[in-house]
């Protein structure tokens, strides 16, 4: 498929030169390489070839053709857990982007669904990061997408994840609060968790589907005022399944679905996800990762090559029949290897 990347500058974004935006957002090419592509008139703004100094303002649409820009290798070890006329449930491997973004287009789950499963317009209902493995729901028709997205919005979907975190996690923990931008980080989209007055308490009762957390989908609004217009209310229940050699296996039951909800919350609680370059032990690690400059010491601290997060359970109502569908994905072998590795002497 033709790689035509489009970016529309959102409302409120400050003016920025074309070259600055490309070099800061799409870091897989150097500033000099982007300058050369602009000089070749490969970059357009509002359908007109642009030069490097062209100033973008809110509403401008920038487009560039990236057919001959190589994409990094990914894993296409994709498992089809369920498929019918309306939906498909995928067990996504790590190191596979779900949607086209940045340097990935054809090497994405979305493109694979179009070319290998002949789905004309695959609609990925739930979001999984490139490094996160596990269950992902695909709607194959527009009506199925509307129905499934409504279930997620109304909190009628069971979403359970498993993560490996650094340290000995409490037996159980209910995190209720706000995800807000992290002003101290230079990483775009990085967030931190701020507990609310009525939230975050140790001792959530129960486990599994018998969970009693005080959560009511009929009254989801928090009492604590929103601290920031760009923040999101987030609710997650955590359970420690096992702790070995300084690493805890933690289950996370999501009551909301927010960007980086599990990773940002665990990091702010003091238990970063193993292998996480953004929310991990060193804020500069992500910068080194983007420039292929991770040190041997970085890799030892990370413990594994990807963030140890896996979407292991998904339950929803079929958009046509109303039947309750329940799926589970096995605990990944790479995460099990980290958890079970012998203690260092």
Tell me which of 14-23, 90-99, 158-167, 329-338 is least confident: 14-23
248 versus 290: the higher-pLDDT residue is: 248
Provide CATH 3.30.2350.10 ranges for the chain: 79-154+311-338, 160-206+223-307
- Look up the CATH architecture of domain 160-206+223-307: 2-Layer Sandwich (3.30)
Where does the chain show beta strands of DSSP type E?
Answer: 4-8, 16-17, 43-45, 48-49, 55-56, 61-65, 79-83, 87-92, 123-124, 133-139, 158-166, 172-181, 191-195, 201-202, 232-244, 247-254, 309-317, 324-328
Torsion angle defined by CA atoms of residues 298, 302, 303 and 304, in that order, rounded to the nearest 10 degrees:
-110
User: Binning pLDDT at 50, 70 and 90, where does residue 332 land?
Assistant: very high
Confidence of residue 200 (pLDDT cuts 50, 70, 90): low
Asked if pLDDT for residue 206 goes beyond 70, the answer is no
pLDDT tens digits along 74-131: 999 999 999 999 999 999 999 999 988 767 878 899 999 999 999 988 999 998 999 9
Q: 119: which 2 tokens?
A: 């789905």
Q: Is 4-65 CATH 3.40.50.300?
A: no
Alpha-carbon distance 107 to 73, whole Å?
7
DSSP three-state, residue 187: coil
DSSP-assigned letters across all residues of 227-279 = S-TT-EEEEEEEEEEEEETTEEEEEEEESS--TTHHHHHHHHHT-PBTT-SSS
Q: What does the mean pLDDT of the chain come to?
A: 86
Residues of the chain with CATH 3.10.290.10: 4-65
- CATH T-level topology, domain 79-154+311-338: Pseudouridine synthase (3.30.2350)
pLDDT (average), residues 55-74: 84
Residue 207: band (very low, low, confident or very high) from pLDDT cuts 50, 70, 90: very low
Sign of CA dihedral 19, 24, 27, 32: positive
Q: pTM value?
A: 0.78
């Amino acid at each position: 498929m033709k790689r035509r990347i489009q970016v529309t500058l959102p409302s409120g974004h400050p003016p920025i030169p074309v070259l600055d935006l490309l070099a800061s957002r799409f870091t897989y090419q150097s500033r000099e390489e982007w300058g050369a592509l602009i000089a070749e008139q490969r970059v357009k703004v509002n359908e007109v070839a642009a030069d490097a100094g062209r100033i973008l303002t809110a509403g401008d649409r920038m487009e560039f053709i990236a057919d001959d820009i190589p994409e990094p290798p990914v894993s296409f070890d994709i498992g089809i857990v369920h498929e019918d006329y309306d939906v498909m449930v995928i067990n996504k491997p790590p190191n596979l982007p779900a949607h086209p973004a940045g340097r990935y287009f054809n090497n994405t789950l979305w493109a694979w669904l179009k070319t290998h499963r002949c789905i004309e317009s695959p609609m990925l209902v739930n979001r999984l990061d490139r490094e996160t493995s596990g269950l992902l729901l695909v709607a194959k028709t527009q009506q199925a997408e509307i129905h499934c997205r409504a279930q997620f919005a109304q909190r009628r979907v069971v979403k359970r994840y498993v993560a490996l975190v650094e340290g000995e996690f409490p037996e159980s923990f209910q995190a209720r609060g706000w995800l807000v931008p992290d002003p101290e980080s230079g990483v775009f989209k990085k967030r931190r968790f701020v507990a609310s007055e009525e939230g975050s308490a140790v001792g959530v009762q129960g486990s599994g589907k018998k969970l009693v957390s005080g959560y009511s989908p009929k009254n989801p609004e928090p009492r604590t005022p929103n601290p920031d217009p760009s923040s999101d209310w987030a609710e997650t229940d955590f359970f420690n399944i096992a702790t070995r050699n300084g690493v805890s296996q933690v289950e996370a039951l999501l009551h909301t679905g927010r960007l980086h909800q599990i990773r940002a919350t665990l990091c702010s609680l003091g238990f970063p996800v193993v292998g996480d370059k953004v929310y991990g032990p060193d804020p500069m690690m992500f910068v080194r990762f983007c420039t292929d400059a991770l040190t041997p010491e970085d890799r030892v601290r990370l413990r594994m090559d990807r963030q140890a997060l896996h979407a292991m359970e998904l339950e929803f109502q079929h958009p046509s029949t109303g039947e309750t569908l329940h799926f589970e994905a096995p605990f990944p072998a790479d995460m099990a290897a980290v958890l079970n590795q012998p203690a260092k002497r």
